[in-house]
Amino acid sequence: MASNTMRKILSFFVVWTMVVSMYALEVNNLRTQAYTNPIGIDISVPSFSWQLSSIERGVMQTSYSIKISIERDFSDIVWESGTIESCQSVDVQTTGFTPQARTRYYWQVSVTDNKGNAATSEELAYFEIGLKTTTAWNKSKSLSTIFKAIKSQTLTCHLLPLNYHLSPLNYHLSPLNSLKVSTFREVKKGLCDS
């Protein structure tokens, strides 16, 4: 009888140890330029941030590695940081990576901690680079000639290669390629579907 109880207690601790090791470290809240999945940003050197969560106490990051890909499944990696021994997880710059205009990039980070645990981010994290030069903007259609103030509906506009979701609220300000947009002057027929 005593050996049966000991087996149950030992089984409990084995299962508990397995559960603790599975969830000992997680990487979440991935941000680019302090935003979640920003679109149309105008940057030359992206900066990333993330948070660690753990069921253990006193956990600190000891190293990280960032991968950037143009494919969601990371089959086409365009830049890797390599393993960087650092506890930094806020405003981490991607030295040596130059993003191209009008391109969506996916990124993930792998970290290790002071307890010997390792984790790779699982949440979808991406950023899109907008039109970075004045010449590129001059070749595109001006926002003021495309949109009109909409009071009664929300529009989703697909202007290749960028997508915009416009709110009808007069007081709503949408950051769009570093410009604050509050009203839209004119709707170009055929570009927006309500």
The 10s digit of each residue's pLDDT in 109-121 is 999 999 999 999 9
| Residue that has been written with the tokens 């089959």 in this structure | 75
Q: Which tokens belong to 4?
A: 């049966």
Q: Where are the domains of the chain?
A: 25-129, 141-193
Q: Which tokens belong to 9?
A: 């207690």
Quote the percentage of the chain above a pLDDT of 90. 46
**25-129, CATH topology level:** Immunoglobulin-like (2.60.40)
Among residues 109, 73, 72, the alpha carbon closest in space to that of 90 is found at 109
* Residue 137: exposure state from Cβ atoms within 10 A (0-12, 13-18, ≥19): middle
- DSSP symbols for 120-165: E--S--EEEE---SHHHHHHSPPHHHH-B--SS--EEEEETTEEEE
Q: Who's near 45: CB < 8 A, 6+ residues apart?
A: 93, 94, 95, 97, 98
Predicted local confidence at residue 95, as pLDDT:
87
Predicted local confidence at residue 151, as pLDDT:
37
Predicted local confidence at residue 32, as pLDDT:
95
153, pLDDT greater than 80:
no
19, pLDDT greater than 60:
no
144, pLDDT greater than 70:
no
- Output the pTM of the full model: 0.63
Q: Which tokens belong to 83?
A: 């393993």
Comparing 13-17, 88-92, 165-169, the range with the smallest average pLDDT is: 165-169
17, pLDDT greater than 70:
no
Report pLDDT digits (tens) over 59-92.
999 999 999 999 999 999 999 999 999 999 999 9
